[in-house]
Amino acid sequence: MIDCLMFIAFMLLMPYQMVGKEAHEWIGMIMFFLFICHHMMNQKWTRNINKGKYSFLRIWQIILVIFLFLFMLGSMISGIILSRYVFKSIRIMGVAVLMENVHMICAYWGFVMMALHLGFHWNMFINMIKNKTEKWKNSIWLVVRNLTYGIAIYGIFAFIKRKIGLYMTLKSHFVFFDPTETLRLYMLDYISMMILFVLVGYYIWKLDKNARYYTSTPELLKKYVQMVPPVDDQK
């Protein structure tokens, strides 16, 4: 439930000029609260991060979670400093331009990282659909799969059209909003891009089926020490 609310909140944060700057800040606060709840619910995963064996997927997942955490944190801190409504009493002079750049790069990279993170868990969603439509599994699943692929292909076009790459690399410091465009069309483009990167994450997850497992960190270091000959033997 929290993950679904985070997804909705994040999507509403992207068209900030369309929803209004004050609404954007309050949605950001909701996102901050959901972000904390999400990490509190996943404390067990964090505590066990240095235990067990490291698969291809687990290594990718840890890297992804670290970067997603950093981008979300950067987005929230810069958002608080730039706030004109919720945190209007907080004013730090001389950092506005820097914080605008930080906010932009964290928002768009966070968008991609969140989609990839969802893709790692997309198999649960697929199994849910298959279980719910078991009677018409072949026909329904074929339609859903082809529709998803079609939306993802459009997501490539939307990614180029919206110039997301320019924002992610800070080659453009201003996000362009067409005043004649409706919020619905804008959101459809971002949903298609989200599905595109979800599929990328999902197929990274599928690679894990044939990937070999690495030992846990302490075991890996122990084996490495055993492999390295003593100093006297190296002379």
Q: What is the pLDDT of residues 30-54, one digit of tens each?
A: 988 988 888 888 777 777 777 777 7
- The verdict on residue 94 lying in a domain is yes
Q: Domain range spanning residue 192?
A: 2-208
Q: Which comes out higher in pLDDT, residue 132 or 158? A: 158
Residue 15 main-chain phi, psi, to 5 deg: -85, 65
pLDDT, mean of residues 60-72? 89
- The verdict on residue 10 lying in a domain is yes
pLDDT, mean of residues 78-86? 90
pLDDT, mean of residues 120-128? 76
- The verdict on residue 53 lying in a domain is yes
Band of residue 214 on the pLDDT scale cut at 50, 70, 90:
very low
pLDDT attached to residue 224:
47
pLDDT (tens digit, 9 = 90+) per residue, 11-22?
889 888 888 889
- The verdict on residue 27 lying in a domain is yes
Helix/strand/coil for 214: strand
The answer to whether residues 16 and 187 touch, using CB atoms and an 8 Å cutoff, is no
The answer to whether residues 11 and 198 touch, using CB atoms and an 8 Å cutoff, is no
- The verdict on residue 153 lying in a domain is yes
The answer to whether residues 79 and 35 touch, using CB atoms and an 8 Å cutoff, is no
Environment class of 34 (CB within 10 Å of its CB; exposed 0-12, middle 13-18, buried 19+)? buried
Band of residue 215 on the pLDDT scale cut at 50, 70, 90:
very low
- The verdict on residue 219 lying in a domain is no
Q: How many domains does the chain have?
A: 1
Distances (CA, A) of 167 to 70, 162, 184, 194: 17, 9, 22, 16
Q: How far apart are CA 233 and CA 139, in angstroms?
A: 67
Environment class of 229 (CB within 10 Å of its CB; exposed 0-12, middle 13-18, buried 19+)? exposed
pLDDT attached to residue 129:
67
- Alpha-carbon torsion (100, 175, 162, 169), positive or negative: negative
Q: How far apart are CA 116 and CA 122, in angstroms?
A: 10
- The verdict on residue 34 lying in a domain is yes
Q: How far apart are CA 197 and CA 111, in angstroms?
A: 9
Residue 54 main-chain phi, psi, to 5 deg: -105, 110
- In order, the DSSP letters of 28-52 are HHHHHHHHHHHHHHTHHHHHTTTSS
- The verdict on residue 83 lying in a domain is yes
pLDDT attached to residue 209:
59
Distances (CA, A) of 139 to 92, 149, 226: 58, 16, 56
Lowest mean pLDDT among 7-21, 33-47, 51-65, 123-137: 123-137
User: What's the whole-model pTM score?
Assistant: 0.78
Helix/strand/coil for 229: coil
Element (H, E) at 121: none
Q: Is the pLDDT of residue 85 over 70?
A: yes
Q: Is the pLDDT of residue 139 over 80?
A: no
Half-sphere exposure of 91 (CA within 13 A, CB side): 5
pLDDT, mean of residues 181-186? 88
pLDDT attached to residue 231:
47
